[in-house]
Amino acid sequence: MSDFLRINRDGGVAIVTIDNPPVNALSFHLREPLMQALVELRDDASVAAVVIVCAGRTFVAGADITEFGKPVQQPDLRAIVATLESITKSTVAAIHGTALGGGLELALGCHFRVADTGAKLGLPEVKLGLLPGGGGTVRLPRLVGALKALKMIVSGAPISATEAHAAGLVDAVFEGDLTTHAVNFARELARKGGPFTPVRDRDDGLKETDLAALDAEAADLARKARGLDAPIACALSVRNAVTLPFDPALAAERALFVKLVGSDQSRAQRHLFFAEREAAKISAKDVVKRRIARIGVIGAGTMGGGIAMAFANGGYPVTLLETSHEALQRGLATIDKNYSVSVTRGSLTEDAKRQRLAQFTGSTDYADLADCDLIVEAVFEDMAVKKEVFGKLEAVAKPGAILATNTSYLDIDEIAASTSRPQDVVGLHFFSPANVMKLLEIVRAQRTAPDALATVVDLARRIGKVAVVVGVCHGFVGNRMLAARGSESEALLLEGATPRQIDQVFTDFGWPMGPFQMGDLAGLDIGWRNRKAQGLTAVIADTLCEQGRFGQKTGKGFYLYENGSRTPVPDPQVEALIRAEADEKGIAPRAISAEEIIERTLYPLINEGAKILEEGIAARASDIDIVWVNGYGFPVGKGGPMFWAGLEGAGKIIERLEYWHQRTGKDVFKPAPLLKTMAETGSWEAGATV
């Protein structure tokens, strides 16, 4: 038969077992034998029912994403589902793990679906810049209704077996041996006899469709799409399921899919799918990871509290240490408040909140960290303070405990060298709020032991973080590139651009917000403190801070925030301040184009990324993309700065960088040699391995 599929008989029930590790993706080498098996069983009179089940950890998790962009090899999924629906005897999909994308569409080709209690079902194609291309947008509404189908397909979020059962997507949910339950379910159907109605001919979910409500929901989702095409296509295809007969709706779905699969946006989002998995792979063969049972966090401020929550949310007990009882109580109270907000929003139950709070042990005594396997310091961003903390850890941390610093730009090699155990020292650069932001830059110091590194990379995945291993330099990857991106901000303002204009260019590009609105959100005083620590100035931002204009938290920054509103309102006072500074410097205002703003912000960003690759601070260009998409909101439809450089054209970027370098003399515009390699070869040379 096939290495990827086998057929067993249990009386009159044929059990088709798919076995294509790791996730039973519908690769061509599976589709071919699957099609043959379905035709054979359809025509075999001794077969009374067909059950499709999967070996391994999950039901089919989708089409094989590696096949996209290549010529389609028949049979494709649509042909398989059509053959499945031509079977008149009962067909049952037995779902465990995650039935996603083409996997759920395969299951929708069956008359019935049963699932085990832990199963999840979803159509996440939108996250790849696609829409379900195997009939999902036309069949799912027929079972669960158009509105629920719309929300599932545009969000891409899976639902539980219980929710799927309640919605009519799944016909039964079982505990225990799913295959046996599925076979008995199928046998009972066969005993009762058909005919069995294929999903394509069912309309129970479509009968009461409120088209106005559907259109309203679709319009709301479109507003949130931020320039992405796939969510719009998904909504249109679900609407077609309501307004068109099945076959024309299916044909329209196919046309939309073909358009999306060839688009730059989908290529960008598929790039990110694999890049995220690559980033977690480090060259640490045969390394035994250390056991992590208990976490210590030093500092219960914004970062320390968020980091402690991130570990508690991941199920780890946390000892949270502060210098005083008052500071500790303040930190614990903030944590409690954060969980209460989640409960109010409905994203956390009261019980879960209690469970998470029970994970915390507060202390003001370093000795209480003695049983911790990983200790993360999140104290004031000052080298002397960090070294003092590590000095104390020398005395209490047990052998083999990993000692991590949350510094956002200090030299971790210097911190490690101040201890007697540099092999245990690593950087864990969380992004604020640490309990929410997915990105975790794992900073490998020169003497970080391979097993320590492998341990924290694995731990990051366990607490739901997207880990990228980076090397030591000022600002590592993200913040170093952020400095390059912002290096011209003040010059652009002084030369005539307004904060609103620059921010608008960024949001038009697809960023959630521009740099000035972001600065007001984060607090301008943070950058002000960093600049002062480094002896740097930014005349406009410094002046705003001197006036106490820190941003949203003070009601004004680059923008005004009236009556506690979070909506930025341009402030004539700020524009007057900018003009006054420009006049003092003899800079006459001029019209500045959107293209110029892109060239003086995003091109230096890419150029710094190229330098980071050359220095081996990042191992792959795709790692840099993962940092920027998960840590700074780089639009997923553009794949990250390094992927986007390929779309924009490295040659064009070099030419414009050279122009601005010649005009300003600034190093940030001096094209990195690797950028030239990219222009010549079309791909980024991997930098040294971190």
Strand partners, 91: 50
The least distance separating ligand T1G from the CB of residue 26, rounded to whole angstroms, comes to: 7
Strand ranges for 328-401 from DSSP E: 360-363, 374-377
The least distance separating ligand T1G from the CB of residue 245, rounded to whole angstroms, comes to: 21
Q: Which member of 30, 48, 52, 61 binds ligand T1G (CB under 6 A)?
A: 61
* Geometric angle at alpha carbon 423, from 421 and 429, rounded to 5°: 105
Under the binding rule (CB under 6 A), the answer on residue 253 touching ligand T1G is no
For residue 572, is the peptide bond before it cis, meaning its omega torsion is within 30 degrees of 0?
no
| C-beta closer to ligand T1G: residue 142 or 556 | 142
105 is catalytic: yes
Under the binding rule (CB under 6 A), the answer on residue 241 touching ligand T1G is no
Under the binding rule (CB under 6 A), the answer on residue 250 touching ligand T1G is no
CB 127, CB 156: distance < 8 Å: yes
CB 638, CB 647: distance < 8 Å: yes
The least distance separating ligand T1G from the CB of residue 45, rounded to whole angstroms, comes to: 32
- Which of 675, 640, 626 minimizes the C-alpha distance to 655? 675
| C-beta closer to ligand T1G: residue 55 or 343 | 55
- Order of all β-strands in the sheet with 402-405: 360-363, 318-321, 295-298, 374-377, 402-405, 425-430, 439-443, 466-470
| C-beta closer to ligand T1G: residue 130 or 374 | 130
- Which of 645, 635, 641, 664 minimizes the C-alpha distance to 514? 635
> 641-648 and 650-664 helices cross at what angle (nearest 10)?
100
Q: Which one of 12-20, 101-109, 163-171, 565-573 is the stretch in contact with ligand T1G (CB under 6 A)? A: 101-109
573/9 Cα distance (integer angstroms): 80
Give the per-residue contact string, 446-465, with ligand T1G (x = CB under 6 A; - = no). --------------------
Q: Which member of 66, 74, 534, 567 binds ligand T1G (CB under 6 A)?
A: 66
Under the binding rule (CB under 6 A), the answer on residue 140 touching ligand T1G is no
Q: Which of residues 9-28 bind ligand T1G (CB under 6 A)?
A: 22-23, 25
548/570 Cα distance (integer angstroms): 17
Q: Which of 85, 105, 377, 596 is catalytic?
A: 105
Q: Which of 32, 67, 125, 163 is catalytic?
A: 125
Under the binding rule (CB under 6 A), the answer on residue 101 touching ligand T1G is yes
Q: Which member of 9, 191, 259, 277 binds ligand T1G (CB under 6 A)?
A: 277
- Provide the token pair at 415: 């911190």
Q: Residues touching ligand T1G: how many (CB under 6 A)?
A: 26
- Which of 34, 44, 7, 4 minimizes the C-alpha distance to 21? 4
* Torsions phi, psi for 168 (to 5 deg): 95, 5
- Order of all β-strands in the sheet with 159-160: 98-100, 120-122, 159-160
Q: Give 76's DSSP letter.
A: -
| C-beta closer to ligand T1G: residue 134 or 141 | 134
The least distance separating ligand T1G from the CB of residue 205, rounded to whole angstroms, comes to: 19
Q: Which member of 16, 37, 47, 63 binds ligand T1G (CB under 6 A)?
A: 63
Q: Which member of 17, 90, 91, 98 binds ligand T1G (CB under 6 A)?
A: 98
Report the DSSP pairing between strands 439-443 and 425-430.
antiparallel
Q: Which member of 13, 48, 64, 407 binds ligand T1G (CB under 6 A)?
A: 64
| C-beta closer to ligand T1G: residue 132 or 639 | 132
Q: Which member of 33, 75, 109, 124 binds ligand T1G (CB under 6 A)?
A: 124
Residues that bind ligand T1G (CB under 6 A): 22-23, 25, 58, 61-66, 77, 98, 100-102, 105, 124-125, 128, 130, 132-134, 136, 274, 277
**Which residues are catalytic, by number?**
105, 125
